[in-house]
Amino acid sequence: MTMMPQGAGTTVRGDGAGGATSSLYDVLELILDRGLVIDVFVRVSLVGIELVKIDARIVVASVDTYLRFAEACNRLDLEAGRKAPAQLPEVVGDMLEGGSRGKTKGALGGAVEAVKQSLTGGDDETEDAQEWEEPEDEEREEPEEREEPEEEEQPVRRRRTARRPARRERE
C-alpha cells in the first residue's frame, strides 16, 4: 500500500499549526457537506459546486459496470500479454512512482478525474480565474473503435446526466 504524498496539487494552508497540508480535493466534501448548519442562516447558491459534487458521485448502473469491468479485464490482458503475473512487480513499481492515476480511466475511474482536474488543473496563482462553474469538459481521449455502439456512448451519456443541475443529496 502506498501513502500518497500530502499536499499534492491544491493545498490548504495549515498556518503553521503543525498540521499537514491536505489536498483540497480530498477535504472538499467535508467542507461542503459536513459541519454545523444553523437553520436561520441562508446557504449561498452553490450551483458550480453542486455540479462538482454530483460529478464525483456518479454511480454506474450495474449492467454497465459489468460490461465495463469485462472490457477492462480484456484490455488488461491485451496490454500486458499472457505472461501477466510476471510483470506485476513492474506494474506496482510504476504505480509507486505516481504515474498511474491518469492512465487508468477505467470502470472505477472516469468522472472523478475531470473533477480533480478542475480543482487542481491551474496553479494557485491563477485561482481567481478558476471558478467552480466551469469544470471544463475534458475530452475523453478513448474513442477506441469498438463494435458495440451502446457501450461506446456510455461515458458521454454519464457525464451529461452529471451535468444536469441537481438537488443536493444528503446522506
Partner 1 sequence: MAVYVYAVTGHDHPCHLDGLTGVGSDAPAVRTLESGKLRAVVSDVAGEIRPKRRDVIAHQAVLDRLMADGTPLPLQFGYIAPDDETVRRALDERAEGYLDALAAVRGCAEYNVKAGQEEDVLLRSILDGSPRASSLNEEILAGDTDPRLPLELGQLVSAEVDLRRSDASAALIRALAPLARAYVVHPPTGEDFLNLSLLVPRDGERPFLDAHAGLSRDAGPGVRTRLAGPLPPYSFVP
Residues in 54-113 that interact with partner 1 by CB under 8 A: 56-57, 62-63, 65-74, 76-78, 80, 84-85, 88, 91-92, 95, 100, 104, 106-112
- Selection from 3, 22, 2, 4 nearest residue 12 by Cα: 22
106 closest CA partner among 75, 61, 144, 145? 75
Q: Is 19 in the site for partner 1 (CB under 8 A)?
A: yes
Find the binder of partner 1 among 16, 81, 149, 165 (CB under 8 A). Answer: 16
**Residue 127 or 137 with smaller CB distance to partner 1:** 127
Q: Which of 9, 15, 139, 167 binds partner 1 (CB under 8 A)?
A: 15
C-beta closer to partner 1: residue 13 or 160: 13
Choice from 97, 141, 145, 171 touching partner 1 (CB under 8 A): 171
Partners of 12 in the beta sheet? 22
Q: Strand, helix or coil at 27?
A: helix
Least distance from partner 1 to the Cβ atom of residue 163, Å: 17
User: Which among 14-22, 136-144, 152-160 is the span making contact with partner 1, rule CB under 8 A?
Assistant: 14-22
Task: Give, for 73, the enclosing helix (H) or strand (E).
Answer: helix 62-80
Which lies closer to partner 1 via its Cβ, residue 23 or residue 158?
Answer: 23
Judged by beta carbon, residue 19 or residue 143, the one nearer partner 1 is 19
66 three-state secondary structure = helix
Nearest to 131 by CA among 47, 54, 55, 73: 47
Distance CA 54, CA 162 (A): 6
Identify the three-state secondary structure at position 120. helix
